[in-house]
């Protein structure tokens, strides 16, 4: 018999009640804060053509000849600064969010639903989780990337991973994907409530900076909507908080390499604001659903140091939504809307 190109189950899934599955997908994390663990993680991440749009042969030489010889040790040092006894903050935070969303949907969903978590890079992989959900009887799948703003470098890459998995399954599930939720009213309300609650506890700074992850400018020039969706989120959040334009700024962090990325850059912005006389700067990162290296180390540590060195007094990082009730409720409502019409799943809102 010729070997099949397709994978599938011999039969057990046929005997199980059909379920709707929700697959949350976050970026990913190394298994440990060490150069050895960072090397395969970075190779997978930076080897994704969605992330780095260079000719493959040229980028392979740069990645394996230079970057993977230097960056793992530097990244390991940064990860070690935020690693906890439970492990990676991104993983533990994403796992808590997954459990909380599953519990919430059990109360509000009108049918059997299974929530699982995958990482785009590292473990558990998108492929592993989709195959496991299929074994558990999931026949209709909603993929929810934990990226509020769409970019080809993030959500687009998740779609690639899902497609690569489904095209190898003999019996793929029905599929829907949440492309973005950057202007979702429930999400904006969750962000605003989180910031207001933090201000009520800690007082309000002189200015609020919203820092989003950056991407190369040429990606936006080629049609990526990310920059515009970030600014749409910022505008809606500013209006919901009742701030005028002078009290809120937007910047982009995490740039690498020499080519222009989205501007203004966060590190340059915090230095400029300090020089302009801002003493207490509040920073939130509305593009990150869960706290991670980029928020805990890059913003709360690195950029705090930049701000103080430039003359500011304190940079206060406002945590991501994580597994807060506000985020769980907003994501549950998002799931209910995107699963409407599937016969096995009827929300309480539709009754």
Same domain, yes or no, for 121 and 223? Answer: no
Residue 49 lies in a domain: no
Same domain, yes or no, for 17 and 138? Answer: yes
Same domain, yes or no, for 150 and 20? Answer: yes
- pLDDT digits 0-9 by tens, 316-325: 999 999 999 9
Question: Mean pLDDT, to the nearest integer, of 32-45?
Answer: 97
As for how many domains the chain has, the answer is 2
CA–CA distance, 85 with 293 (Å, rounded to integer) = 15
Q: DSSP string covering 291-312, please?
A: --HIIIIIIIIIIHHHHHHTT-
Residue 57 lies in a domain: no
Same domain, yes or no, for 176 and 192? Answer: no
By CB atoms closer than 10 A (0-12, 13-18, 19+), residue 10 is exposed
Residue 134 lies in a domain: yes
Residue 146 lies in a domain: yes
Query: Does 218 have pLDDT greater than 90?
Result: yes
Same domain, yes or no, for 294 and 209? Answer: yes
Q: Give residue 151's domain range.
A: 12-29+88-180+326-350
Residue 206 lies in a domain: yes
Q: What is the pLDDT of residue 5?
A: 76
Check which CATH number belongs to the domain holding 232 and give it: 3.40.50.1400
Same domain, yes or no, for 134 and 250? Answer: no
Q: Is 294 annotated as a binding residue?
A: yes
Residue 63 lies in a domain: no
Q: What is the pLDDT of residue 59?
A: 93
Q: Which of 252, 265, 267 lies closest to 305, judged by CA?
A: 267
Q: What is the pLDDT of residue 174?
A: 95
């Amino acid at each position: 018999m010729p070997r099949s190109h397709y994978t599938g189950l011999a039969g057990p899934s046929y005997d199980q009640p059909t379920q709707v599955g929700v697959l949350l997908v976050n970026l990913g994390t190394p298994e440990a804060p060490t150069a050895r663990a960072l090397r395969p993680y970075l190779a997978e991440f930076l080897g994704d053509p969605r992330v780095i749009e260079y000719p493959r042969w040229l980028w392979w030489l740069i990645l394996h000849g230079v970057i993977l010889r230097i960056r793992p040790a530097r990244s390991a040092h940064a990860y070690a600064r935020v690693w906890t006894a439970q492990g990676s903050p991104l993983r533990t935070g994403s796992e808590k969010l997954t459990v909380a969303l599953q519990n919430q949907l059990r109360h509000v969903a009108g049918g059997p639903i299974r929530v699982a978590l995958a990482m785009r890079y590292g473990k558990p992989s998108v492929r592993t989780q989709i195959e496991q959900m299929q074994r558990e009887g999931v026949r209709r799948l909603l993929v929810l990337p934990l990226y509020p703003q769409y970019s080809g470098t993030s959500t687009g890459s998740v779609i690639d991973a899902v497609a690569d998995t489904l095209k190898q399954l003999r019996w793929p599930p029905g599929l829907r994907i949440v492309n973005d939720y950057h202007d979702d009213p429930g999400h904006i309300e969750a962000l605003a409530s989180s910031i207001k609650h933090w201000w009520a506890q800690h007082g309000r700074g002189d200015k609020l900076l919203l820092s989003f992850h950056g991407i190369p400018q040429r990606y936006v020039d080629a049609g990526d909507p990310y920059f515009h969706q970030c600014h749409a989120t910022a505008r809606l959040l500013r209006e919901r908080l009742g701030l005028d334009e002078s009290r809120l700024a937007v910047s982009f962090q995490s740039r690498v390499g020499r080519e222009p990325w989205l501007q203004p850059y966060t590190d340059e912005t915090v230095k400029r604001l300090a020089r302009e006389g801002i003493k207490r700067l509040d920073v939130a990162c509305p593009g990150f659903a869960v706290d991670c290296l980029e928020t805990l180390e890059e913003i709360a540590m690195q950029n705090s140091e930049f701000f103080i060195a430039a003359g500011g007094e304190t940079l206060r990082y406002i945590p991501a939504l994580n597994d807060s009730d506000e985020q769980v409720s907003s994501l549950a409502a998002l799931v209910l809307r995107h699963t409407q019409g599937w016969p096995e799943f009827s929300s309480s809102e539709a009754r």
